[in-house]
Structure 1
Amino acid sequence: MKVLVDNQRCEAHGQCWMVDEEFFPLDDDGYSALPAGGVDVAPEMEDTARRGVDACPLQALRIE
């Protein structure tokens, strides 16, 4: 499982960050700071990843 961000959609609402600030880091302007290639999700973090993706009001995050 991997979490990817579409930086064109992200508008810095920070809802993913509110789910888990370490897994969903933000840059200095409040936009997602996930790497361009996405983040591999450890099995114990899958629930957190899903909740963070679901929290995005603009669907800028997705699971692959």
Structure 2
Amino acid sequence: MRIIVDKAKCQGHARCWAHAPNVFTLDDEGYILPGDIKVAAGDELLAARGARSCPERALEIDGTAGP
């Protein structure tokens, strides 16, 4: 699984990080860093919760990504 990041939509709410701080990396101002995120096995549930919690829909879940 991977999370597709649309940095332009991020408004720095940090809700994703609140759900999964080991998955989502934020800059010093609370904005998501650019680049897609490969989610490690075992972190999928929290990563999905974090992605769905984004009010700006800046994160998209790609469940088709292989290992």
Determine the C-alpha separation between the residues in 2 that align with 1:21 and 1:46: 13
Give SS of 1:42's match.
coil
* Partner residue in 2 for 1:10: 10
1:4 is displaced (CA, Å) by: 1.5
Q: Percent identity?
A: 40
TM-score by structure 2 length?
0.82
Q: How does 1:29-44 map to 2 (within 5 A)?
A: 29-33=29-33, 35-36=34-35, 38-44=36-42
Q: How far 1:42 sits from its partner (Å)? A: 2.1
> How many Å apart are 1:20 and its aligned residue?
1.6
**How many residues are treated as equivalent by the alignment?**
62
* Structure 1 portions without partners, runs of 5+: none
Instruction: Report the equivalent of 1:54.
Output: 52
Matched to 2:44, the amino acid is: E
Question: Mind listing any 5+ residue stretches in structure 2 that lack a counterpart?
Answer: 63-67
Give CA-to-partner distance per residue, 1:1-51, whole Å, 9 cap, x none: 111110110000010011021211110111002x42x12122311101110
